[in-house]
Homo-oligomer: A and B are copies of this chain.
Amino acid sequence: MELTEARQKFIQGWGQLGASWGINRTMAQIQAVLLLATDPMSTDDIMADLQISRGNANMNIRELIAWGIVYKAFKPGDRKEYYYSEKSMWELAKKVSRERKKRELEPLLKMLDEVKSVKGSSAEAKEFKKVAQETRSMASRAESVLDMVMKLEENRFFKWLLPK
């Protein structure tokens, strides 16, 4: 397969994956482009590559930087900003987990906490308490698993898991 075609498929697939995780498709595609780049790219490079507008490119690059998975670079004698992606898949996964934990798990736990004090002893109220309690317990467990995995070193954990 030609590099051009392969690249296209990779970028598409990555965008698709992002989309089904609630991440803007273009944001994911920019990340894919930077992941495949050998050198930092300027906004114009990215605009040309993905055929998108300046505003769109700028917004999504900024968002990637906010997620901590894309960094800025500068070239001497050039005032453009250049961008490059975090290349370690492990680091990437960790940063994405951290961000999603903050954005989703934490608000959920907060809500479950607020709702804990529900009054009443009807069947509905009892069921509510039970479900809320189980949800809280599942969410905390998920959080613990994430914390644990995030702290582990790649090799230590996965070599044990997948000795091959």
Query: Chain A interface (Cβ within 8 Å of chain B)?
Result: 1-3, 6-7, 9-10, 13, 16-17, 19-22, 35-38, 87, 89-90, 93, 100, 103-104, 107-108, 111-112, 114-115, 117-120, 122-125, 127-128, 131-132, 134-135, 137-138, 140-141, 144-145, 148, 158, 161-162
Say whether, besides A1-B118, A37-B127, A118-B2, A138 and B108 are in contact (CB < 8 Å). Answer: no
User: Which residues of B lie under 8 Å from residue A36 when comparing CB positions?
Assistant: 124, 127-128, 131
Partner of A128, one of B10, B20, B123: B10
A119 to B93 Cα, complex, angstroms = 28
Q: Is the CB of B114 within 8 A of A9?
A: yes
